[in-house]
């Protein structure tokens, strides 16, 4: 049986999802601030809604870029070049590329059933400013392109 081709997206869908994300982000940020420092299972409906909309937006962006309707962002181009040049970079390793410093980061992407062992790691690069801090604009673009790397995960034990 042949595989069904995925639905192609159009630019207007990107505008619609952006309009949906704006109020959800404000609620999710407020919710994150209110639960900062708490442990255990926390009910986070606004963060969950925001993350689902962000994942949908990332899918639309990837589809538009694959169709050639949008160009790859600078973050994607530089990240792929750094991945190629520094395949074995460890977590928090800093490398120089085109006169800028980039830090390799890893985040747990998939845990074992017990939640004690990380099965899959998300790998991404963050641009460092001259002061050694992560550039917030770069980090927000990374979060927009690959939102699944930053999901709040719950693990059933």
List pLDDT tens digits, range 13-72.
888 988 988 888 888 877 776 665 554 455 667 777 888 888 889 889 889 989 999 899
User: Is residue 11 domain-resident?
Assistant: yes
Q: Is the pLDDT of residue 154 over 50?
A: no
Q: What is the pLDDT of residue 4?
A: 63
User: Is residue 49 domain-resident?
Assistant: yes
- Whether 51 and 13 map to the same domain: the answer is yes
Q: Which residues, 6 or more positions from 115, have their beta carbon under 8 angstroms from its beta carbon?
A: 155, 157
- Whether 16 and 30 map to the same domain: the answer is yes
User: Is residue 157 domain-resident?
Assistant: no
Give yes or no for a contact between 122 and 97, defined as CB atoms under 8 angstroms apart.
Answer: no
pTM for this entry: 0.68
Domain containing residue 55? 1-71
Number of independent structural domains in the chain: 2
User: Is residue 108 domain-resident?
Assistant: yes
User: Is residue 156 domain-resident?
Assistant: no
User: Is residue 39 domain-resident?
Assistant: yes
Q: What is the pLDDT of residue 95?
A: 94
Give the largest Cα separation in the chain, rounded: 56
> What mean pLDDT do residues 90-101 have?
93
User: Is residue 26 domain-resident?
Assistant: yes
Q: What is the pLDDT of residue 35?
A: 67
Interior/surface letters 112-128, b for 16+ CB within 10 angstroms, e for the rest = eeeeeeeeeeebbbbbb
- Whether 44 and 7 map to the same domain: the answer is yes
Q: Is the pLDDT of residue 126 over 90?
A: yes
- Whether 79 and 10 map to the same domain: the answer is no
- Whether 64 and 78 map to the same domain: the answer is no
């Amino acid at each position: 049986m042949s595989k069904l081709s995925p639905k192609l997206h159009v630019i207007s869908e990107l505008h619609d999802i952006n309009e949906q994300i704006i109020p959800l982000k404000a609620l999710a940020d407020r919710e994150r601030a209110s639960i900062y420092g708490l442990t255990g299972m926390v009910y986070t409906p606004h963060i969950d809604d925001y993350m689902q909309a962000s994942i949908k937006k990332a899918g639309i962006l990837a589809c538009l870029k694959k169709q050639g309707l949008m160009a790859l962002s600078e973050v994607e181009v530089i990240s792929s070049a750094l991945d190629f040049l520094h395949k074995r970079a460890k977590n928090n390793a800093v490398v120089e590329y085109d006169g800028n410093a980039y830090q390799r980061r890893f985040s747990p992407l998939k845990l074992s059933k017990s939640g004690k062992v990380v099965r899959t790691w998300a790998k991404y690069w963050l641009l460092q400013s001259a002061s050694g801090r992560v550039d917030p604009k770069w980090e927000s673009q990374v979060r927009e392109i690959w939102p699944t790397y930053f999901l709040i995960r719950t693990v059933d034990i």
